[in-house]
Structure 1
């Protein structure tokens, strides 16, 4: 029995901007995740001018990029996209912990959501399955999450 992410319809919101920070490491996977996010935003009707994509060398650098993008005050949400594949050393654990803690700190301290679109997998096939393969595209899911979180943030601001 396969597990599926719960889905709900996307709220209709207007006039918002999203930035996507993409790690170059494992680029064949992160590129597919980025494309999934961009396709979802286009399908939603978001103009290309309202989406900014930046690249960083690896997953650890995603937190810095997200922080700098937040500081601009130009975006309603940031999506970070990366892929960390487990190897034979503890490097995997350090990278995953660094990115997770960095993103969590930004979400706790900042006024806009940072969406976690980083795959942390044991082997490359698991990443491929989640980057447009048999398990969908987690980049597309991150874009949907960004839309929902922008709507939530606006709703809370109106209270």
Structure 2
């Protein structure tokens, strides 16, 4: 359990590139909004801390985590962003639904990363219970939204360096 040893919100501020010229898309699942809303808040605040402008942060909602792939794909195709952050939360229940949603969303986001030139950042929290989700959405383990924002900035910077 990696997060037990690492707070999701801890990072070296100075190691993060300036984001003032970067464009971000954030696709957020409406399902478990108490968690995804907190992830969104963390991501947006962290992007702004690193210079991202309000007009360069586009936020779109999809019904559930399974739809993160489609939403992210459409945002990539729009050409309006340099990176997409996909934020969702799936909590294990009594049926295999959890496994199908998690696997589908994970495979879809992986495929987007392998087949497009725009990074799609995996911000899907998959937990056994709501407390674990809360711990990762601004609770005792930090905020996965912060981590995703930093990853998006660094991946855009990675691409920029490759193009030089």
TM-score, normalization by structure 2 = 0.92
The more displaced of 9-18 and 50-59 is 9-18
CA distance in structure 1 between the aligned counterparts of 2:157 and 2:144, rounded to whole angstroms: 20
Partner in structure 1 of residue 76 of structure 2? 70
Q: 1:26 aligns with which of 32, 38, 46?
A: 32
For 2:115, the equivalent position in structure 1 comes to 109
Aligned mates of 2:20, 2:101 — CA distance in 1: 35
Looking at structure 2, the residues matched to 96 and 87 of structure 1 have their Cα atoms a distance apart, in angstroms, of 12
1:39 and 1:24 map into 2 onto residues whose CA distance is 19
Query: Which stretches in structure 1 are left out of the alignment for 5+ residues?
Result: none
Matches within 5 A, 1:119-134: 119-134=125-140
2:53 to 47, 58, 76: 47
Aligned to 2:5: 3
2:81 is paired with a residue whose SS is coil
Q: Which runs of structure 1 show a deviation greater than 3 angstroms over 4 or more consecutive aligned residues?
A: 5-8
Residue-pair matches, total: 157
Classify the secondary structure of the residue corresponding to 1:37. Answer: helix
Q: Which residue of 2 aligns with 1:85?
A: 91
Task: Return 5+ residue gaps in structure 2 as ranges.
Answer: none
Instruction: Compare 146-155 and 4-13 and name the one that shifted more.
Output: 4-13
CA distance in structure 2 between the partners assigned to 1:94 and 1:73 by the alignment: 30
The 10-residue stretch of structure 1 (2-11 or 141-150) with the greater mean CA deviation from structure 2: 2-11
Tell whether the 8 Å contact from 2:23 to 2:83 is kept in structure 1 after alignment: yes
